[in-house]
Amino acid sequence: MSTFRVLFLCTGNSARSQMAEALVNHFWGDRWRAFSAGTRPTGYVHPLAIQALKEIGIEHHGRSKPIAELPHMDFDLVITVCDAAAEECPFWPGPGFRTHHGYPDPAAAEGSEEERLQAFRQVRDQMLKELPALLKAWEKRLAEERR
């Protein structure tokens, strides 16, 4: 089976896209190679995103980066994971399909550290629930395109 390349795109590239990249590379890395970038990157990966990943055994060492760092890469699929990125990047100029699959912004959560961490856990768990079916559906379509 061939490997597909997916880019997770969000605004800050500090939480949702970083978690999606780490989850895909960890759990589905035999079929997918994931990357992430931001339309307006923050320059850091949110510590609570790193902690939420660490809780399930993933050591993520990602870096918040702009789309401009990836112009030489071809992706099979580009997934915007926040509404702002979907609006700012209504089409992908390179090869590959583009789709939107939004998640709430855990970095916007307020409250105690534990309450904010819970918001990151919820997004992480939602991704773990939804990404397998999403990727499987795209695998079929992309395999047909490659024929």
The model's pTM: 0.91
The pLDDT score that the predictor gives to residue 83 is: 73
Q: Which fold has domain 4-139?
A: Rossmann fold (3.40.50)
User: Tokens 């390349």 correspond to what residue?
Assistant: 5
Q: Say whether 25 is catalytic.
A: no
Cα–Cα distance between 62 and 82 in angstroms, integer? 18
Give the tens place of pLDDT for each residue, 18-76: 999 999 999 999 999 999 999 889 999 999 999 999 999 999 998 999 988 876 778 99
The pLDDT score that the predictor gives to residue 94 is: 61
Rounded CA Rg of the chain:
15
Point out the catalytic residue in the list 82, 127, 135, 142: 82
The pLDDT score that the predictor gives to residue 98 is: 83
- Work out the angle at residue 91's Cα, subtended by the Cα atoms of residues 90 and 97, and round it to the nearest 5 degrees: 125
Q: Say whether 82 is catalytic.
A: yes
The pLDDT score that the predictor gives to residue 1 is: 53
**Residue 46 CA from chain centroid, whole number:** 14
Token representation of residue 47? 């510590």
Cα–Cα distance between 68 and 39 in angstroms, integer? 9
Rounded to 5 degrees, what are φ and ψ at 100?
A: -120, 135
Q: Say whether 136 is catalytic.
A: no
Give the tens place of pLDDT for each residue, 101-134: 999 999 999 999 999 999 999 999 999 999 999 9
The pLDDT score that the predictor gives to residue 92 is: 55
Point out the catalytic residue in the list 10, 53, 117, 127: 10
Question: How far lies 6's CA from each of 9, 17, 121, 122, 138, in Å?
Answer: 10, 11, 22, 22, 10
Point out the catalytic residue in the list 48, 89, 117, 142: 89
SS3 128: helix
User: Tokens 């030489």 correspond to what residue?
Assistant: 72
Confidence tier at 143 by pLDDT (50, 70, 90)? confident
